[in-house]
Amino acid sequence: VFLCIVGAYVFDYGQTIIIIVGIMFIGFALMLSSRKLSLGLISQLEKIKFLSKHIHKFYEAYESIYQLVKFKPLVIATIISVFSWFFECVGFYLVLYAFSATTGIEVNLLIATFIYGFSTLIGAIAMLPGGLGLTDASLTGLMQL
């Protein structure tokens, strides 16, 4: 989301999707960081018959997630992930740059970062493994613009 924000405003494309996903992410992180809210939700799930026999797994999973959504670990993980995703965008840029010699299409790092970040975000929203098909289609489509 962070990598897409700049590109979305520079190219005036996709701001609504990025803002909605960002708000959903923040809301989800806030919900997970509230023990009272999350444990209350899990206790409601316990009332569902086929989930009740596995409810201990929900509690274990939540305890692990809770450790990750505390402020310090979340900030550290976010900083590391922004850098690592940016370097994936650099790799995408280098591939596009190598092909630009034969295609004659001019590419810059900002465009490549936006295209890769936005396409990955679209693939993640689809909730398919690796954004199967949707990421590739949006990469191809955005490169045509």
pLDDT at 37: 93
pLDDT tens figures, 38-75: 999 999 999 999 888 899 999 999 999 999 888 899 89
Mean of the per-residue pLDDT values of the chain: 88
pTM, two decimals, is 0.74
For 7, other C-beta atoms within 10 Å of its C-beta total 24
pLDDT at 83: 93
pLDDT at 41: 93
> In sequence order, which residues have a C-beta less than 8 Å from that of residue 142 and are 6 or more positions away?
114, 115, 118, 119
- Determine whether 83 is exposed, middle or buried from the number of CB atoms within 10 Å of its CB (0-12, 13-18, 19+): exposed
Amino acid at position 94, single letter: L
**Nearest CA-CA partner of 62 in 80, 41, 77, 44:** 41
CA distances from 33 to 9, 69, 109 (A): 30, 6, 35
pLDDT tens figures, 1-21: 777 887 777 777 778 888 888
Give the Cα separation of 9 and 20 in Å (integer).
14
